[in-house]
Structure 1
Amino acid sequence: MERTHTSLRRGWTTGSCATAAARAAWRGLCGGTFPDPVTITLPGGQDVAFALAAHGYDGDGAWAEVVKDAGDDPDVTHGAHVRVDVRRGPPGSGVVFRAGEGVGTVTLPGLPVPPGEPAINPVPRRMIRTALRDATGREPDVVVTVSVMGGRDMARHTLNGRLGIVGGLSILGTTGIVVPFSCAAWIDSIHRGVDVARALGLPHVAGCTGDVSERATRALYALPEEAMLEMGDFAGGLLKYLRRHPVGRVTIGGGVAKMTKLAQGFLDLHSRRGQADMARLAALARGMGGADPLVEDIARAHSVAAAFALAAGAGHPLGPAVAHGAWQVAADVLAGSDCVLDVLLFDRAGTLVARHGPHPVRG
């Protein structure tokens, strides 16, 4: 297994695992022998071998199973058993995909595959078609059913439900490789959420950093679930995509600590990307007329929440200035999208601390 420059082990997407299982099952059906290991070619041209966990025949069909190895990425599907069943289809039917146990079905527009189709993304579909064709030298007529054991339960820990994918997981992958801690699947889900909202014609979407701010934002504006984009720490991932795929109105909501980081220019709000600069918060308080003792206390504060409490207690609340700063950073990313933007700050209880906007984004 390949390692990154940080010595973290890379893994394989569900799409790669499904491709390997499909190729092995098809070879078993056509020739009676299941290759183990089975080799596939990734979209980038790299040949990779997969061991089979199990294989066999089921009536007039064949099946094979691969265990997903996500490397060192904390992927919810790590260790999942990806099974593919293949059966010959009617002449001229080509490759037809079906959702088996634990694989979802698309129900909303805006995703890369239309409603009613199994949630197998375009790249894995192309990989499977290529693997089957390469195995026998021609485009086969075959029904391919992809299953993930326990996928329905795993899907509860993903954003699939909000995207209108019901009944299980999506079969994902663009490169075939999982890069540890790249969070590519999460960011892709944010993008697909924007696509769904646009396809539904929603005029207003909201990206929030967590459950508390999401519930408060949704209640404030009475937004439908499809309008809520689970941004998490990926403010940049959401805002950059919205710049290219605009929605009329955008709300960004979050707790005071995450929004302070946004105001200070962070677009990745995770703690590993750095902490809020308490000296800058102290300078903000000084600019609002805060006395030296307050400024010094804020500079030494152990958290953003504590700094906010100190400033509020002294009659110099930081919320409005931080909301304005976060709005400006977000507006700079959205520049040219011609949308209306507002930023909301909440405390840990979901109480609105400050807001800025809605104002049009210029330029």
Structure 2
Amino acid sequence: MSRDGSSGLRHGWTTGACATAATTAAYTALLTGEFPDPVSIDLPNDRHPSFALARESMDRDGASAGIVKDAGDDPDVTHGALVSARVTRGDPGSGVVFRAGEGVGTVTKPGLPLAVGEPAINPVPRRLMTEHVTAVAQRHGGSGDVVVEVSVAGGAELARRTWNPRLGILGGLSILGTTGVVVPYSCSSWIDSIRRGIDVARAAGREHVAGCTGSTSERVAQELYGLPEDALLDMGDFAGAVLKYLRRHPVPRLTVAGGIGKLAKLAEGHLDLHSARSQVSFAALAQLVAEAGGGPALVEGVRQANTALDALQQCAAAGFPLGDLVAAGARRTAEGVLLGAPVEVDVVVIDRAGTIVGRG
């Protein structure tokens, strides 16, 4: 497993890479009677990893292989999951047909890059598996006409901790990956889920979506505007991902909802709101207060505040609308990223209890 030289963290492998390796091993066994172990695959960017088989079985109808996913040092929900592929012979001329096994979801809503009714195996993993089936067929004299059933042990339970139910992917996980490599803390799957959430909302004809930093702000936005579940985007810290994707794929109205701390960072121009990657600037908050006519004592109190909530409480005691100022600043940042896209933006700022403390 390789390490990122800048962080020292181990890279991992996507579910798509694991499914490709399992498919390669199973089809090789189907044609030759022997499972390659470890099994090597070819990934984009000239990577050629090998995977040890955790499970293997063969019967008169087909062969199955399983690989335990190693996500490296990324906090991936599927780290340690058993990803398996069962390969059986298909009808002549059918090519590679994909099936959802246990723990792999099925698409039930339009807007995703897969048709309704298809197993939730994304396009790039499908292409990788198809390419490897073709290569195995050429090496061992097969036709390449196969049915590949991918499964993930415990996938239905794991999927409840992902966006899948909201995206209309039911019954399990999605098989994901573009390069086959999991970069630690890149959160690429979260950002991809944000994009797919916007796609699903657009396909459903939604004209108002809400990007929310957490479950409390999501509840507030839903109650405030009566939004359906598929109009709610679990934005987390990735405000930039929401705004940049809406710039290219607009929805008429966007509400950004979140806590005072995260939205204070957005107001200052930060698009990644994670505490490790951006910090609240109390000097910037103090400047907002000063420009809006706050007295010198309040300005200095905000400048010396311990937290954004502390600054908010000081302003509230003085009857000063810091939440509204933060909301207006966050809206300006959002509009700047949207670059004139036809998206009307409003911002809702809440405190930890879920009380609305600012609108803009």
Determine if the TM-score, normalized by the shorter chain, exceeds 0.5: yes
Q: Which residue of 1 aligns with 2:249?
A: 245
Q: Which residue of 1 aligns with 2:264?
A: 260
Report the more deviating stretch, 343-352 or 144-153.
343-352
Answering whether residue 177 of structure 2 is matched by residue 173 of structure 1, we say yes
- Structure 2: how far apart are the matches of 1:302 and 1:105? 47
Q: Counterpart of 2:265 in 1: which secondary structure?
A: helix
Equivalent residues in 2 for 1:282-321, closer than 5 Å: 282-321=286-325
Find the partner of 2:217 among 213, 238, 248.
Answer: 213
Q: Counterpart of 1:43 in 2: which secondary structure?
A: coil
Q: CA deviation at 1:292?
A: 2.5
Report the more deviating stretch, 291-300 or 155-164.
291-300
Q: Counterpart of 2:164 in 1: which secondary structure?
A: coil
Q: CA deviation at 1:78?
A: 0.5
CA offsets 1:171-193 (integer angstroms, 9 cap, x no match) = 00000000000000000000000
Q: CA deviation at 1:139?
A: 5.6
Contact 1:129 1:139 in 2 (8 A): no
Q: Which residue of 1 aligns with 2:284?
A: 280
Q: Which residue of 1 aligns with 2:91?
A: 90
Normalising by structure 2, report the TM-score.
0.97
The size of the alignment, in residue pairs, is 356
Q: Which residue of 2 aligns with 1:16?
A: 17
- Structure 2: how far apart are the matches of 1:7 and 1:339? 40
- Structure 1: how far apart are the matches of 2:340 and 2:284? 29
CA offsets 1:251-292 (integer angstroms, 9 cap, x no match) = 111111111110011100000112111112122222333332
Residue type of the partner of 1:324? A
Q: Which residue of 1 aligns with 2:72?
A: 71
Q: Which runs of 4+ in 1 moved over 4 A?
A: none
Q: CA deviation at 1:24?
A: 0.3
Residue type of the partner of 2:161? H
Equivalent residues in 2 for 1:127-146, closer than 5 Å: 127-137=128-138, 140-146=144-150
Contact 2:197 2:233 in 1 (8 A): yes
> Identity of counterpart residues, as a percentage?
60
- Structure 2: how far apart are the matches of 1:247 and 1:229? 12
Contact 1:73 1:180 in 2 (8 A): yes
Contact 2:54 2:68 in 1 (8 A): yes
Q: CA deviation at 1:140?
A: 1.0
Q: CA deviation at 1:315?
A: 1.8
Contact 2:16 2:125 in 1 (8 A): yes
- Structure 1: how far apart are the matches of 2:320 and 2:224? 25
Q: CA deviation at 1:99?
A: 0.4
Q: CA deviation at 1:54?
A: 1.5
Report the more deviating stretch, 157-166 or 42-51.
42-51
Q: Which residue of 2 aligns with 1:147?
A: 151
Find the partner of 1:224 among 205, 228, 236.
Answer: 228
- Structure 1: how far apart are the matches of 2:143 and 2:224? 53
Q: Which residue of 1 aligns with 2:51?
A: 50
Q: Which residue of 1 aligns with 2:345?
A: 341
User: Runs of 5+ in structure 2 lacking a partner?
Assistant: none
Find the partner of 1:324 among 328, 345, 348.
Answer: 328
User: Runs of 5+ in structure 1 lacking a partner?
Assistant: 357-363
- Structure 1: how far apart are the matches of 2:143 and 2:8? 40
- Structure 2: how far apart are the matches of 1:196 and 1:98? 22
